[in-house]
Structure 1
Amino acid sequence: MIKKKKLGFIVNPVAGLGGRVGLKGSDGAEIQRRARELGARPESPQRAIQALERIEEIKEEVEIITYPFEMGEDEASRCALDYRVIGTIKKGETTPEDTKRAAREMVDLGVDLILFAGGDGTARNIYDAIGTAVPVIGIPAGVKIHSAVYATTPNNAGELVFLYFLGKIKKLQEAEVMDIDEDAFRLGRVTAKLYGYLNVPHEERLVQGLKSGRGEGEASALKSIAAHVVKNMEEDCLYLIGPGTTTRAIMEQLHLPYTLLGVDVAFNKQLVAADVTEKQLLDLIAGKKAKIVVTIIGGQGYIFGRGNQQLSPSVLRLVGKENVIVIAPRTKITALQRRPMLIDTGDCEVNKLMSGYYQVIIGYEQTVMYKAE
């Protein structure tokens, strides 16, 4: 009889809750309450299911050990996998302590690997609880993901488990656990801190990189990129300007106020809405011509699905790939080392619709063709 591999499975049910409603994070009961009042729905359950579905092919060789209700049981029950529920929680009122306790109990039961869905805060909880006691893989489900312990997509998280349990990935790599001050983040200040390392089965094409900041000497490049975008702005067209210092240069060129870490909307070179939610965007673009301006997240390569969840699958369907403008200084393109730009919207069909080649603006009247997937 084949001894089954034990997979610890933890879901942070509120991870990503604040993304589409523009709250720039989900930490804390008050933010979660506000997110729900704004109509937010949890992102992590469906993303966790996507990861588990990839493991169904080796279901005879895997036993899942998970926590009750929305912390894993609900998701595991929807997949063709054997699972066992341990521990107790207060349904609908999960806390970081529940995540820590779940991780510790799973290590005590001898799991071979822990698969968890969440964001940077969840990675911190796992690190605080177990350190490097067992390997882990993160399913990306948060708003902000600076840590390098996550797979590039939920499906690739499942792929990593699949390959690791089959012995096709043997290498473990110490990956950084990073987190930021969300209160400062909402005020436009990014203060990331290294909290420690977790051991992650490593396959470069499946694991996301550590988010990097702006390099030296980029200021002039950003100005020339912004000048190109502004010169070519069409009349009577809404421009949805995504977050980041690269896109900020466009708003500065237009002499408009901006939300560094949110999505702003301009029309005929005037600001019409600031720091918008998904719902506000859908209302604004209904029946109108619109374009989206985004940049590449340095060190990771994402253009959708990290920090700009307001640009949701519904928004992207309405705007269309042909109306997406990608801007990036040449240094960001070079740093990708020919790896593709990444898209992880949470909707597999939209990911495919938005994949393919983009004409990336890298300077004034300078573009390169680059692939996204």
Structure 2
Amino acid sequence: MRLGFLTNPIAGMGGRVGLKGTDGKLAAARERGAQPRAPDRARRALTALADADADPDLLVWGGPMGGDAARAVGFDPRVLGEPEADDLGDTTAEDTRRAARAFHDAGVDLVLFVGGDGTAADVAETLSGTETPMLGVPAGVKVYSSVFAVSPEDAAAVVTSFDRTERREVTDIDEDSYREGEVQPELRAVAFVPVTDRLQSSKQTGGGTVESLAAGVADEARAHPERTYVLGPGSTLAAVKTELGFDGSPIGVDVWRDGELLARDADEATLLELLDPDGDNEIVVTPIGGQGFVFGRGNPQLSPAVIRRCSVSVVASRDKLDDLHVLRADTDDPALDEELAGWLKVRVGRFETRMTKIV
């Protein structure tokens, strides 16, 4: 494997001294006696990589941005460039971007970076438009994005084992607002990241999560104007309907296609009339919280005849899905229930999905 490795050496310095971040606060952090955190996290990840007998073609950015840590644990890396200044405090976001560009140009299989959400955004924005994957070693104060491994050791395990990637969100927050007690997450980029259960979920508020997944459903719907969408009841689907620009039925089923609301609070007969038996139809439902039913509770108009004419997508907030061990279907058609059973991807964010089983 050809691995690009970089460290934001000042990431996380403001945390232990109560600054809730380091953006624009490095001098204040130093005045309070802050010590670098990221270099130790970098050495932990690289040590775990070495202990796993991994022998990557290791490409780094020089000095405190990767080269020092790699040599400290016994690697002999190829240094593709240096930060503009050797001093720890003078490394910049542009240094990170230059490193990410160089790694991509060198054809790395993965960019492994050590930092926080700001570093993740710099790397992801630089790699935007490419399929070069990235993975974060968490070292920042605020780590809201879903592109980070749970720990440095987990990151090393992912490097040595992943075989496919998926798109995940890079989210950052305004640190000044954060210091005032307000969390305002902002989607900064979408990145290709290894598929693994060793990644953390995106840390968003409940409303932010629903809004994010609603935006994802709406994006997909607008990209498929030929598709008829049958949108089930519930607050999660209400957010989808709002994102699509209409006031839907909160406890009913609505039908939407190509920017037009075809039916509000539709019954089974209306649904069957609107769905093309040979066309492109999709049902979008959310499970009932605490029970996990996607069909058979609260949406009887989604009958077996309707379901059989459609593909099925399930969406749910992370909090709701965390409370459910499995999903269920009770359609009054045992054969259909059996067809629906099995693993499926549940959308939990704009791009993120989670594998969950219908039993």
Indicate the TM-score class for this superposition, using the shorter chain for normalisation: 0.5 to 0.7
Aligned twin of 1:289: none
CA displacement at 1:133 relative to structure 2 = 3.4
CA displacement at 1:56 relative to structure 2 = 1.0
Distance 1:333 1:171, change over 3 A: same
How far apart, CA to CA, are the structure 2 residues paired with 1:337 and 1:211? Answer: 19
- Per-residue Cα deviation, 1:257-307 (whole angstroms, up to 9, x for no partner): xxxxxxxxxxxxxxxxxxxxxxxxxxxxxxxxxxxxxxxxxxxxxxxxxxx
Say whether residues 1:91 and 2:89 are aligned partners: no
Say whether residues 1:124 and 2:117 are aligned partners: no
> Tell me, what secondary structure is at the counterpart of 1:54?
helix
The count of corresponding residues between Structure 1 and Structure 2 is 212
**Paired letter, 1:212:** Q
TM-score by structure 1 length?
Answer: 0.54
Distance 1:118 1:336, change over 3 A: farther
- Per-residue Cα deviation, 1:93-126 (whole angstroms, up to 9, x for no partner): 1000000000001111111111000000001100
**Paired letter, 2:322:** A
Aligned twin of 2:132: 134
Distance 1:336 1:139, change over 3 A: farther
* Higher RCO, Cα 8 Å, sep 6+: 1
CA displacement at 1:60 relative to structure 2 = 6.3
CA displacement at 1:81 relative to structure 2 = 2.3
CA displacement at 1:337 relative to structure 2 = 5.9
| Greater C-alpha Rg | 2
Aligned twin of 2:211: none
Aligned twin of 1:335: 322
Say whether residues 1:37 and 2:31 are aligned partners: yes
- Per-residue Cα deviation, 1:124-167 (whole angstroms, up to 9, x for no partner): 1001211243111100000001100000111101111111xxxx
How far apart, CA to CA, are the structure 1 residues paired with 2:182 and 2:164? Answer: 36
How far apart, CA to CA, are the structure 2 residues paired with 1:188 and 1:58? Answer: 41
Say whether residues 1:50 and 2:48 are aligned partners: no
> Tell me, what secondary structure is at the counterpart of 2:98?
helix
Structure 1 residue ranges without an equivalent (≥5) = 164-168, 217-330, 339-373
- Within a 5 Å distance, the mapping from 1:84-233 to structure 2 comes to 84-89=78-83, 90-92=85-87, 93-131=90-128, 132-163=130-161, 169-204=162-197, 206-214=198-206
CA displacement at 1:61 relative to structure 2 = 3.3
- Per-residue Cα deviation, 1:74-93 (whole angstroms, up to 9, x for no partner): 11011122311121221111
CA displacement at 1:54 relative to structure 2 = 1.6
Q: Please give the root-mean-square deviation of Cα atoms over the aligned residues, in Å.
A: 2.0
Of residues 28, 47, 61 in structure 1, which corresponds to 2:55? 61
CA contact (8 A) 2:63 2:82 kept: no
How far apart, CA to CA, are the structure 1 residues paired with 2:323 and 2:28? Answer: 37
CA displacement at 1:193 relative to structure 2 = 0.6
**Paired letter, 2:50:** E
How far apart, CA to CA, are the structure 2 residues paired with 1:178 and 1:107? Answer: 22
> Tell me, what secondary structure is at the counterpart of 1:50?
helix
- Per-residue Cα deviation, 1:168-205 (whole angstroms, up to 9, x for no partner): x222111100001111111111111111211111111x
% same residue: 42
Greater mean deviation of Cα atoms: 134-143 or 73-82: 73-82
CA contact (8 A) 1:147 1:211 kept: yes
> Tell me, what secondary structure is at the counterpart of 2:137?
strand
CA contact (8 A) 2:124 2:134 kept: no
How far apart, CA to CA, are the structure 1 residues paired with 2:107 and 2:174? Answer: 34
- Within a 5 Å distance, the mapping from 1:279-298 to structure 2 comes to none
Structure 2 residue ranges without an equivalent (≥5) = 209-317, 326-359
Distance 1:214 1:7, change over 3 A: same
**Paired letter, 1:113:** L
**Paired letter, 1:82:** D
Aligned twin of 1:20: 16
> Tell me, what secondary structure is at the counterpart of 1:160?
helix
**Paired letter, 2:114:** A
Aligned twin of 2:64: 70
